[in-house]
Amino acid sequence: MASTNDLKNGMVLKLDSGQLWSVVEFQHVKPGKGPAFVRTKLKNVLSGKVVDKTFNAGVKVETANVDRRDMQFSYMDGEYFVFMDMGTYDQIHISREVVGDAANFLLEGFEATVAMYEGNALYVELSAAVELVIEHTDPGVQGDRSTGGSKPAKLETGYEIGVPLFITTGEKIKVDTRSGEYLGRVNS
């Protein structure tokens, strides 16, 4: 148990009959009139749904002990992603639903943070940006600005993103894992 005064970003709360909610942001509010309260933005750990919730200041809330482990993606086993714990070398199978959008940027050997709760994987989190090679993109034609100066490119993971016209097949680029946007070239 924790008090609403102790809330921090990333903390996981157990609310509404056992559902897990991660604190995205919070704000302590002390109005001139009436009691203080805490305004929060909470994200459901399993569904990803984001809600705003207000708590009275000092109210006790139940926290969930979520274990975040650094793991390495090893290989695909059918529909499951197999991750290896870097400390214990234990392997766990995680379904595509749990991996979510991170699957678009995962290659063998990539490290990720896996959140575990009571032996179950909740979600997989990659670093903010990853470096991937362009598997295929059509050559950019000078003067073709009808698309705003970007063209589709297929990454080595199979995911397709928009890149500037000057990017060519075989180049290594940096990609934002949260939005799937092109961030820049990687100098070899």
- For the chain, the structural domain boundaries read 2-61, 70-125, 129-185
* Tokens, residue 173: 């680029």
- For the chain, list residues with pLDDT below 50: none
Q: How many CB atoms lie within 10 A of CB 101?
A: 14
Q: What is the CATH class of 70-125?
A: mainly beta
- Report angle CA 166, 168, 170 to the nearest 5 degrees: 150
Question: Fold identical between 2-61 and 70-125?
Answer: no
pTM of the model: 0.69
Q: Residues 52, 57, 62, 67: is their CA dihedral positive or negative?
A: positive
* pLDDT value of position 146: 56
Question: CA–CA separation, 20 vs 17, rounded Å?
Answer: 9
| C-alpha–C-alpha distance, residues 78 and 83, integer Å | 14
